[in-house]
Structure 1
Amino acid sequence: MQTDNSYANTFATDSDAELVLPSHPAQAREPQWLAFNAELAGQLGIPESLHTTAAGLGLYSGTELPDWIQPVALGYAGHQFANFVPRLGDGRALLLTEIIAPDGERFDLQLKGSGTTPFSRGGDGKAPLGPVMREFLVSEAMHALGVPTTRALAAVVTGDWVQRDEAQPGAIITRVAKSHLRIGTAQFVAHKITQGADESLRQAFADYVIARHYPLSKDRKHPYRALLRQIIDQQAHTVALWMSLGFVHGVMNTDNMTLSGETIDYGPCAFMENYDPNAVFSAIDRAGRYAYQNQPGIALWNLARLAEAWLPLLAKSGESQQQLIEAATELVHEFPIRYEAYYDQKMAFKLGLNSVTAETQALTRDWLSLLQDHALDYTQSFRQLADTLETNVEHFEKMQSWAAWQQRWHKLLTLQGDSDAVVSARMRQHNPAVIPRNHWVEAAIKQTVASGDLTIFNELTQVLRTPYDVVPLELSRYAEPAAPEKRVTRTFCGT
């Protein structure tokens, strides 16, 4: 297995910058396996000696680290609910190393929940079992759904207790990402420069991002503008996929948006059941800042903060400050254009249509209005819409305006000339049969916390690996919406 520490080696020498600070995990009292992702381990080229072995348990619990591990905590800042916090950082996470996969791609290997770091700010640096299980299930489901995301390699229980509202079992997740660099990292660099760090740190960090994630930007006439544009495009694509799946991140602070475009930090996240543009699940988002329908606008706001952090790098020779600000603003406002293009195409596919027109956009809007007006399940309704090509779906037939909408839909399908079989197949490729529904995630957590039983967790893990396939009959309950009395409407981040 080939490993590296390129980020630490680049920035650890500047201790005043605090981008990288050495730290070590706490000793877990009695670590035990919860889950291991052998498929991901194989893709990363991790040897079997570090799978479900004693050596693997020592690594993923942080209790026995090999000599080639150099654990560090990463510094970053962030706007949390629009309030700037200049020093956040990995308060309960440690970057162990960077793995070079057999295909040459580089990934961070990180422990989360492994104890205090220099950025813990008085916290215990640990993670309860519930949030670890949630992140394992949802991040792997997002990957299977085709969304850029951090992934879960391993999860262990520590044998320790973590005190939150009540004592809970402690756990650690091993997270894999293309990197853990965030918009908040760029903000941290910019803030450090205002506090006396050398201006060269801004360019050094941006150059590292280019080398790590966007090498094509390096040879452009204005490489940092090209870099910002590529990040904007990646974020537009990711958020469009969230929206098409009914996913609510829950805490879109600037420190929770990666520069790679991967979804990160599955704390108070959830998937909508009934379609509701105002859906909020985070227990701390009392004003609805990060509601489902607000996510594209928040992404735009966050990207504006990134442009501010990198503003000196975006300047052209002879350009005035006002011209620079206008140019940066224009760059950032490419986001809604790119987002809408990605979203409209994805929604057209979900309706079985192969191109985007004004008619398909109107059809999508009116379909969502029907779902909202009749309080229908978002995920199931798209899947059942494909069924209407072959049979009647009773609750659609009862919907006011269904017949008129269906007629418009069939007209567009006829114009594109595809058979019902082709349309139905396309729809099933873009509309999952199963998502990690909140009530089942919570049921898995409660079962494991109460008795150590992993039945629901393991069955959910299994069915979520192939979310677009027909769900086996014996697991079909995981595709069903929650009964009203079982709905989980509030989730927590676990800090």
Structure 2
Amino acid sequence: MSLLAEDTEAADLGLRWKPGFAALGPAFFTELRPTPLPDSYWVGRSEAVAGELGLPTDWHESKATLAALTGSMPVAGARPIATVYSGHQFGVWAGQLGDGRAIMLGETEGGLEVQLKGAGRTPYSRGGDGRAVLRSSIREFLCSEAMHGLGIPTTRALCVTGSDAPVYREEIESAAVVTRVAPSFVRFGHFEHFAANQRDEELRALADYVIDRYYPACRTTDRFGGNAYAAFLEAVSERTAALLAQWQAVGFCHGVMNTDNMSILGLTIDYGPFQFLDGFDPRHICNHSDTQGRYAFNQQPNVAYWNLFCLAQALLPLIGDQEVAVAALESYKTVFPNEFEGRMRAKLGLTQAAEGDRPLIEGVLKLLAAGKVDYTIFWRRLSGYMADGNVEPVRDVFLDRAGFDAWLLSFSQRHAGTDRALAAELMRRSNPKFVLRNHLGQQAIEASQQKDHSGVATLLALLQTPFEEHPGADAYAGFPPDWASTIEISCSS
């Protein structure tokens, strides 16, 4: 029996749905309804995402909408499902996983999937309660929109709704639901699931669906002798490489880069124990659960390649030749460094590549690491120096003033003859003033736990336009307090 919502009391969100992923058939998902939460309330809303979905301007004023996006009322026309996938977690095969607390309402006619995270137990919950807590839901909501504001490919978040229903983690916390939005939530792990179970027919159906929907150029390519599946793997590798270059350039740590947390579209997905670097430490581990440092900041590019190799193994029955599959991964090794250097040149205000750029980039990163210099503040102040010529605010963040002065000389020589105003503008557009630091998120969370959600709204406004000055908001762009280093973020959410 289909669970297509035809209830007389279903909430009409003004969205029209199409089959999308559900057209693949029951081997790929389970139909179910979210589990209601009592007495829900709004915590945060993104009007930008509402606009992307085409929601009316008064969308949030309806009690039915609030109930529907908390999982307490069916959505008109939606066919909620939870999908099955498998994956490697911390480098170890974990077997079947799946949407353990995420329930997809469906795909809109505009091509966006809408998913409720924290909406209750599914067949893939593996003994869990299917819930999400308020603190992690706020973090995901804010960081999804922050990454979009930074221009980094990501899933989006329409809203967070809360409830006082208890959720049991290390302590009793309150429940919340994040409404997530993306062109697709398909992960590497979806392919691994069917490959591991030798279900080649379903594996091919999934690959064909993703290629035809999101990578149609792979059907007509002459790459790899016209092998569409190898071309698909190469395209995913290149998108992933570009994504990792953006992460590294902005100082973003994901924290749990399991294969089931890797998007087939090269999106940042599954915000758990993430962190934007404060003091620059290439070996920083943001996930308190990562005792071996597998997902340390400087390991992320290599882990992404390892995950792509797992995807290649999963696609091998379709590609048909191991050497071709390995060759399809090869471009990652050139796309990542080229993209990373391009991003770093922009942070330095350089529009054209030149010999000596790599030592200039490596030199400043070594200086930052040696002094654990605040990553975001350094780059923003360097942008200011290019605009007004005042170097003292930049020098002030270094203990090794002589080392910085030597690097600055090379930097200045590289900019000889360039238009400083144009370079400064490029730097301001490449070096954000605001990022979602852990302590800022924590302050907003603690206020929201007391039913004061103004901090969430303030951060959202700053993070959606992080390159702007936002006069009066300098406190959100300052150095983190000492207690920020004591915040521990784990996989518990």
Q: Distance in 2 between matches of 1:351 and 1:98?
A: 41
Partner of 1:385: 382
Partner of 2:479: 481
Partner of 1:35: 44
Any unmatched runs of 5+ in structure 1?
316-323
Partner of 2:369: 372
Q: Is structure 2 residue 357 aligned with structure 1 residue 360?
A: yes
Q: Is structure 2 residue 125 aligned with structure 1 residue 127?
A: no
**Is the Cα contact below 8 Å between 1:23 and 1:118 reproduced in 2?**
no
**Which of 313, 316, 326 in structure 2 is aligned with 1:311?**
316
Q: Distance in 2 between matches of 1:327 and 1:265?
A: 30
How far residue 410 of structure 1 moved from its aligned partner, in angstroms, is: 1.3
Deviations 1:203-223 (A, max 9, x none): 111000102211111222221
Q: Distance in 2 between matches of 1:132 and 1:228?
A: 32
Partner of 1:399: 401
Which amino acid in the other structure matches residue 329 of structure 2?
A: V
Give the TM-score normalised by structure 2: 0.92
Give the TM-score normalised by structure 1: 0.92
**Is the Cα contact below 8 Å between 2:211 and 2:218 reproduced in 1?**
yes
Partner of 1:57: 66
**Is the Cα contact below 8 Å between 2:434 and 2:467 reproduced in 1?**
yes
Deviations 1:188-236 (A, max 9, x none): 111232xxx4x22221110001022111112222211111111111111
Aligned residues: 470
**Is the Cα contact below 8 Å between 1:73 and 1:95 reproduced in 2?**
yes
Partner of 1:469: 468
How far residue 7 of structure 1 moved from its aligned partner, in angstroms, is: 1.1
Local SS of the residue matching 2:434: coil
Partner of 2:8: none
How far residue 186 of structure 1 moved from its aligned partner, in angstroms, is: 0.5
**Which of 15, 19, 23 in structure 2 is aligned with 1:9?**
23
Q: Distance in 2 between matches of 1:67 and 1:403?
A: 63
**Is the Cα contact below 8 Å between 1:113 and 1:173 reproduced in 2?**
yes
**Is the Cα contact below 8 Å between 1:300 and 1:333 reproduced in 2?**
no
Q: Distance in 2 between matches of 1:4 and 1:165?
A: 40
Alignment of 1:31-430 (within 5 A): 31-48=40-57, 50-101=59-110, 106-193=111-198, 197=199, 199-220=200-221, 221-315=226-320, 324-389=321-386, 390-394=389-393, 396=395, 399-414=401-416, 417-430=417-430
Local SS of the residue matching 1:409: helix
Which amino acid in the other structure matches residue 97 of structure 2?
A: L
Return closer, same or farther for 1:47/1:388 CA change in 2, 3 Å cut-off: closer
How far residue 241 of structure 1 moved from its aligned partner, in angstroms, is: 0.5
Q: Distance in 1 between matches of 2:368 and 2:435?
A: 18
Q: Is structure 2 residue 437 aligned with structure 1 residue 432?
A: no
Deviations 1:404-440 (A, max 9, x none): 21111111112xx421111111100100011001111
Which amino acid in the other structure matches residue 266 of structure 2?
A: G
How far residue 403 of structure 1 moved from its aligned partner, in angstroms, is: 2.1
Q: Distance in 2 between matches of 1:358 and 1:247?
A: 28
Q: Distance in 2 between matches of 1:491 and 1:301?
A: 24
Any unmatched runs of 5+ in structure 2?
1-14
Identity %: 35
Q: Distance in 2 between matches of 1:23 and 1:494?
A: 25
Which amino acid in the other structure matches residue 280 of structure 1?
A: I
Q: Between 279-288 and 295-304, report the one with greater CA deviation.
A: 279-288
Local SS of the residue matching 2:158: strand
Which amino acid in the other structure matches residue 61 of structure 2?
A: T
Which amino acid in the other structure matches residue 54 of structure 2?
A: G
**Is the Cα contact below 8 Å between 1:224 and 1:314 reproduced in 2?**
yes
Q: What is the CA RMSD across the aligned residues, in angstroms?
A: 1.5
How far residue 312 of structure 1 moved from its aligned partner, in angstroms, is: 1.9
Deviations 1:140-177 (A, max 9, x none): 00000000001110111123110111111100000001
How far residue 388 of structure 1 moved from its aligned partner, in angstroms, is: 2.5
Partner of 2:33: 24
Q: Distance in 2 between matches of 1:10 and 1:26?
A: 25
